[in-house]
Chains A and B, each alone.
Chain A
């Protein structure tokens, strides 16, 4: 049975609006696009005000006067939209870049670099134990990791002795990367297919009462 809930109808309308992107640029897609942006921006504002209110209660109650510095810095970011005084925003931007990079650099060293090195090395120890399929798998992991990493050398052995070996290694590395990319796109198809099912299922079941 077709739904009588007005919100379900709005929902169905916007689902259809969104799907018209498949047709190309058209008014319905534009309505969907501007609704998407509009609701996200407004919703962000409504929740953002609540968060800020919570963060600055201690300042206005006089418990944490130091918080005023952060408030001033934060307000400085707004100057970016004022052409003449836009330089004022450079200080908060510097804080964002500095703190942000600091936090991610330490995570990169611990998980992405050291974490992956230890994982590779410990798996190398499993190549000769256990059943052959698993052992082969671990061997493939170690070899792929090493060869793919050598593909990403930019300046080493570009010319002169060893450059030929290096170029072979680089070529193999490129094909290993292509295998990785192909496999993961292929696996992604199944997942994306599921997401399409949810969207269409939602439309047909909740709106038209089919399925």
Chain B
């Protein structure tokens, strides 16, 4: 029992050590002129990239586990899972056999993934319009300010207004460039501070949730 807790302790600290070295090396190589620090940072960066490449296989394994479990247990939607599994395997075989740049592969990718991507982007405005019906209602001062600014922008951009009132173009430009931009800037500024403090919490071992992933 004592032995195993010691091992756990060593493991956790080794992981924490890797985290801290990675974090500090990335920072130090940015601020200081030092070939040694650069070498450490570059090595860690390379490790990080390769790990990232491998997590793709983690994803593939979890998706295969999830689908095959689903099929075995006949969960809701299991026939689609079976279809998904066949598609993934078939597609990988096709890709390895024909090559990424073969005309067939390219057309197949265009008419599936890219098409679905374009189609889902095309639906966003539908969702936004139905949400506007629900959300842009003048209930309180808060919703009034939000709703009026939103509708002002929609109308100022509208071609039917630009036809009779060309200056609308300049007003919308002014609104976007000044109040809107400044709001975004304040978000980035304070968010940056919050992000750096989160980095410090990681160094101090305080960001408990995320650090759980590096503990046993």
Contacts and interface: CB of A to CB of B under 8 A. Distances in A.
Nearest to A199: B122
Q: Is the interface of B mostly helix, strand, loop or mixed?
A: helix
B153 A186 contact: yes
Interface residues of B, number: 116
A69 B25 CA distance: 18
Interface residues of A, number: 114
Contacts of A14: 111-112, 115-116, 119
B147 to A, nearest CB: 7
Given A42-B95, A109-B196, A112-B191, A102 B185 contact: no
A36 B47 contact: no
B131 to A, nearest CB: 9
B80 interface: yes
A152 B202 contact: no
16 contacts: A14-B115, A22-B123, A34-B81, A43-B91, A44-B56, A94-B18, A97-B213, A99-B26, A105-B26, A112-B189, A117-B189, A145-B186, A183-B149, A183-B179, A186-B153, A196-B124
Interface of A: 7-8, 10-11, 14-15, 17-19, 21-22, 30-52, 55, 66-67, 69-71, 73-75, 77-78, 80-81, 87, 90-106, 108-109, 111-113, 116-117, 119-120, 133, 136-138, 140-145, 148-149, 151-152, 174-190, 192-193, 195-200, 202
Interface of B: 11-12, 14-16, 18-27, 30-31, 43-63, 65, 77, 80-81, 83-84, 87-89, 91-92, 95-96, 100, 107-113, 115-126, 128, 141-142, 145-154, 157, 172, 174-193, 195-196, 198-199, 202, 210, 213-216
